[in-house]
Structure 1
Amino acid sequence: MASAPQQKFSLWTMMAMCVGSMVGAGIFSLPQAFGRATGPFGALIAWTIAGVGMLMLAFVFQSLSERRPDLDAGIYAYAKAGFGNYLGFLSALGYWSAALLGNVSYFVLIKSTLGLFFPVFGDGNTVLAVATSSILLWSMHFVILRGIREAAVINTIVTFAKIIPILLFIVFVIVGFNAGIFAENFWGGADPTFSDVASQVRATMLVTVFVFVGIEGASVYSRYARNRADVGIATIVGFLGVLALMVMITLLSYGVMPRADLAGLRNPSMAGVLEALVGPWGTLFVSAGLIISVAGAYLSWVLLAAEILYSASKYDTMPRFLSYENRNGVPSNALWLTNIVVQVFLILTLFAQYAFTLALELTSSMILVPYLLVAAYGFKLAWTGETYDRDPAHRGEFTRAAIALLYTAGLIYAAGAKHLLLSAAIYGPGTVLYFMARREQNKMIFTPREMVIFAVAAIGAVVAIFGIATGRISI
């Protein structure tokens, strides 16, 4: 069946995809997350490190979109082009897993927030909460099946709608800012020694990564861009805008209440900060903003999840059935598989709370390897000089790619063995899709190097599953 004419996105739509992917639930939890870990001084250092590291990664995405315009759905295609079929597959699988598991957490968080006002929703895992989430899931599913453009228009509208309450929160906090409270919080309630500050900063690093997941939103949708240069512009502008919002929310909150009180707030902690300034209606205001924000982030991520499966299938790394498009040009089989898995996890939250906790753990850990491979490919191109041809930008791009590579490798090190094992629990069993794809093409499944990588993933999966089952790995 011939696919529909490809729909093209403007620069504004591409930026909305990038911002909409990054601004989800994490931004509403920043006051409490940073309050538990550090004071303003440590927060400034943490945001500087994260800002520079993620900005360098954004520059890598921008550079690769210009130097390899033939590669669509960047985060997967770059890994494959640089390091072969199997690592390309693992990048696609990891990104897709992070997206769909994040969507599960979004649904539960929406219902948990409603549970503040309607106890029947509980913590987001009651029968009514799961039933309502399922209705929303499949309603949005059929909206997206009508066409990517329609879904992207909705995403653009929702992105602007969710930025407004965040901006208003910042205005209220600026008006109510107390310099004395900020000064008391500045060192995080401890002696400003190097080791203490370093410990505080380390405690925030995974938080900063989680809130920036989605920086690649424009890159994943590069095949829809009207102008290829818009991909890089949308990535950089979207990142800088979101970074500014997150830094302001974090630092200004230290001027509203003591760090200990920030650390004790229930999430969404922005609600507690605003309530301290304006009264109970602040909780309602932030909760409404959270629901809009999370709903928008869900739409962005379900689009990204389906797109990555579709693209990987088109490039013969996922089974062929995932490349099917309906008459509206939507990768419908990829969308069905994504939402069926999301539905399964939603049902699991009814019977076992650990399923939701596991989803949260995996969402952050699964994205680290895809980011590392993108940074490594940017570094590889700059190192070898491929695509540069005496381009004077070569030296600057080499430096930025090197910093991005060091940053992403450092994140994996900081995440620790637990997160790597939890990732392996997906990468190992998920390789069955790779087996299917290679058999369809009558090609050798693994090269010798890839066999070693698969063996490591398979052993890690066995260790992780055994550790979870025996309680040796807590989730």
Structure 2
Amino acid sequence: MAPSSNEADQKLSRSALIALVVGSMVGSGIFALPASFGRSTGALGAMIAWVIAGTGMLMLAFVFQSLSRRRPDLDAGIYAYAKAGFGEYVGFASAAGYWIGCCLADVACLILIKATIGQFFAVFGDGTTATAIASASLLLWGVHCLVLRGIKGAAALNTIATYTKIIPILVFIAVAVVVMAPELFRQNFWGTEQPGVATVSAQVRNTMLLTVFVFVGIEGASVYSRYAKDRSDIGIATVLGFLTVLSLLVLVTLLCYGVMPRQELAGLATPSMAGVMEAMVGRWGIIFISVALLISILGNYLSWSLLAAEVLHSAAVNRTMPSFLARVNKHQVPVGALWLTNCVIQAFLLVTWFAEYAFTLALKMTSSMTLIPYFFVAAYGLKLAYGGETYHGSGRARILDGIRSAVATVYAAAMIFAGGPKFLLLSAILYAPGTLLFFLAKRERKEAVFKPFEAVMFAALTIAACAGVYALAVGVIAI
């Protein structure tokens, strides 16, 4: 069947897909990197962390590129690959986990927007005051109304915001290149007065969840594959978008070690890039970066809103989520998914009132929630290469894809482990009740809810969630 004119109007070009990838990744994280890395590691540890993260995420980008070619019939991206490879409940869990991760990323964006304004108007504080939460709620529902008017219009606005926010980051990098002091960089190189392998190893581990957060969004083009004008653009957009963002992240992080001592970097307020810019050029630097940050995060927030609603809608179309989430309006916007997404974001916003370090918590929880879907995508790529399905005797391509998928799988598993038990338990608290959507979908289809292996998985998830709730109640885990 030929697509309707309305559907055709919503198709996205390669440049729009690249902007979705870059716009999803470049947001609150890059502006907080100087202090985040300054608290955790010196320049050497930062280099090693970026090599590990860059390699692991590049392999994941190649997996998305390969899967877009090998399985063009799967046009729901991160969710569809997990379901095709490991069954319906794993597919659901990947969709739900990724969706919740998107919601938490939006919460992080909203907090940082208000914290940035709070540098000039004290009533907004650190982004979690009553005024900040109320104004963030207004922004939340304002963007909701914008997205209801059409995906392509929202994506076009995101493209404009993406190009706009890259320019100030490039200005920051250019100024840092001019003023950085090689001697100061050498002083910050080890990040400690007692250099050693064990010390650097600990520093690297402390930064790993931070690196995951700034790469979340790499799958943006894949999630939106059903809107692509040309499916070959999906893989190209993913890899080009990733390499662009990686270059910016590495430069921003490392150059700062040549501008300020590590102790001063660690003590900078959020957004710490503004503090570094102020140190380089004076007071106007903090204003310049703060304005750039607001533009950046607004675009980033819009990207996450689009991705969150899309993954819920795709899962509902494939009958793994309840049917009300598959509803679209006359502009082909998934209204059911969008309403549920923004209601959950609103609930998370209210919870931030009680969190001591709300931005950091949202940041790390986003990483934790999205790592599990990443793991299953990489594992499906490995399964496809190992079994030979779709390769038709293409031995070299199969071996290359197998290696890339194996590296991406090991990387995702290692990052889950590096996050520690705290974030696994907190993730389980969100995953377990989310299974209610799976129950509703199965009830609509009049099918048994779980297969035997899936029942075991759900039981383990429920036990972990109960353990997490108990740990929160007795104070073992604090938010």
Q: TM-score range by the shorter chain?
A: over 0.9
CA deviation string 1:23-47 (max 9, x = no partner): 0111011111111122221211111
Counterpart for residue 467 of structure 2:
463
Counterpart for residue 60 of structure 2:
57
Counterpart for residue 291 of structure 1:
294
- Distance change >3 Å, CA 137–CA 167, structure 1 → 2: same
Counterpart for residue 402 of structure 2:
398
1:232 aligns with 2:235: yes
Give, as a single letter, the amino acid of the residue that structure 1 aligns with 2:454: E
1:121 to 124, 137, 160: 124
**How much has 1:351 moved relative to structure 2?**
5.8
Counterpart for residue 374 of structure 1:
377
CA contact (8 A) 2:133 2:350 kept: yes
C-alpha distance in 1, partners of 2:358/2:378? 31
Counterpart for residue 190 of structure 2:
187
1:310 to 313, 338, 345: 313
Give, as a single letter, the amino acid of the residue that structure 1 aligns with 2:47: L
**How much has 1:191 moved relative to structure 2?**
3.6
**How much has 1:130 moved relative to structure 2?**
2.0
Counterpart for residue 422 of structure 2:
418
**How much has 1:190 moved relative to structure 2?**
3.4
CA contact (8 A) 1:43 1:250 kept: yes
1:343 to 336, 342, 346: 346
CA deviation string 1:337-364 (max 9, x = no partner): 1111112222343466577665444222
CA deviation string 1:86-125 (max 9, x = no partner): 0000000000000011111211111111011011111212
1:162 aligns with 2:162: no
1:282 to 278, 285, 297: 285
CA contact (8 A) 1:3 1:325 kept: no
Counterpart for residue 438 of structure 2:
434
Counterpart for residue 407 of structure 1:
411
CA deviation string 1:163-203 (max 9, x = no partner): 11101000111111111111111122334422122111111
CA contact (8 A) 1:3 1:327 kept: no
CA contact (8 A) 2:53 2:211 kept: yes
Give, as a single letter, the amino acid of the residue that structure 1 aligns with 2:76: A
2:327 to 319, 324, 327: 324
1:20 aligns with 2:15: no
C-alpha distance in 2, partners of 1:469/1:358? 17
1:454 aligns with 2:458: yes
Partner SS, residue 446 of structure 1: coil
CA deviation string 1:298-353 (max 9, x = no partner): 00000000000000000010000000010111001100111111122223434665
C-alpha distance in 2, partners of 1:213/1:57? 11
**How much has 1:128 moved relative to structure 2?**
2.3
Counterpart for residue 210 of structure 2:
207
Partner SS, residue 7 of structure 2: coil
- 1:36-185 counterparts in 2 under 5 A? 36-185=39-188
- Distance change >3 Å, CA 229–CA 144, structure 1 → 2: same
C-alpha distance in 2, partners of 1:396/1:357? 37
Partner SS, residue 41 of structure 1: helix
C-alpha distance in 1, partners of 2:349/2:359? 8
Partner SS, residue 258 of structure 2: coil
Give, as a single letter, the amino acid of the residue that structure 1 aligns with 2:94: S
**How much has 1:73 moved relative to structure 2?**
2.0
**How much has 1:162 moved relative to structure 2?**
0.7
CA contact (8 A) 1:307 1:331 kept: yes
1:247 to 224, 229, 250: 250
**How much has 1:380 moved relative to structure 2?**
0.4
C-alpha distance in 2, partners of 1:126/1:258? 32
C-alpha distance in 2, partners of 1:14/1:301? 14
Give, as a single letter, the amino acid of the residue that structure 1 aligns with 2:449: I
C-alpha distance in 1, partners of 2:195/2:122? 44
Counterpart for residue 269 of structure 2:
266
| Matched pairs, number | 474
C-alpha distance in 1, partners of 2:300/2:202? 31
Counterpart for residue 476 of structure 2:
472
C-alpha distance in 2, partners of 1:365/1:164? 30
**How much has 1:49 moved relative to structure 2?**
0.7
C-alpha distance in 2, partners of 1:5/1:217? 19
Give, as a single letter, the amino acid of the residue that structure 1 aligns with 2:51: T
C-alpha distance in 2, partners of 1:442/1:193? 60
C-alpha distance in 1, partners of 2:88/2:473? 32
Partner SS, residue 203 of structure 1: helix
Counterpart for residue 224 of structure 2:
221
C-alpha distance in 2, partners of 1:429/1:25? 28
Give, as a single letter, the amino acid of the residue that structure 2 aligns with 1:5: E
- Distance change >3 Å, CA 8–CA 434, structure 1 → 2: same
CA contact (8 A) 2:128 2:358 kept: no
CA deviation string 1:196-253 (max 9, x = no partner): 2211111111111111111101110000111101000000000000000000001111
Gaps of 5+ in 1: none
* TM-score, normalization by structure 1: 0.97
Give, as a single letter, the amino acid of the residue that structure 1 aligns with 2:278: E
1:34 aligns with 2:37: yes
Return 345-354 or 72-81, whichever deviates more. Answer: 345-354
1:383 to 360, 383, 386: 386
- Distance change >3 Å, CA 369–CA 294, structure 1 → 2: same
C-alpha distance in 2, partners of 1:210/1:356? 12
CA deviation string 1:411-461 (max 9, x = no partner): 111111111111110111110100000010011110000000000011111
Aligned sequence identity (%): 59
Q: CA RMSD in A?
A: 1.5
Return 337-346 or 58-67, whichever deviates more. Answer: 337-346
CA contact (8 A) 2:111 2:127 kept: yes
Gaps of 5+ in 2: none
**How much has 1:131 moved relative to structure 2?**
2.2
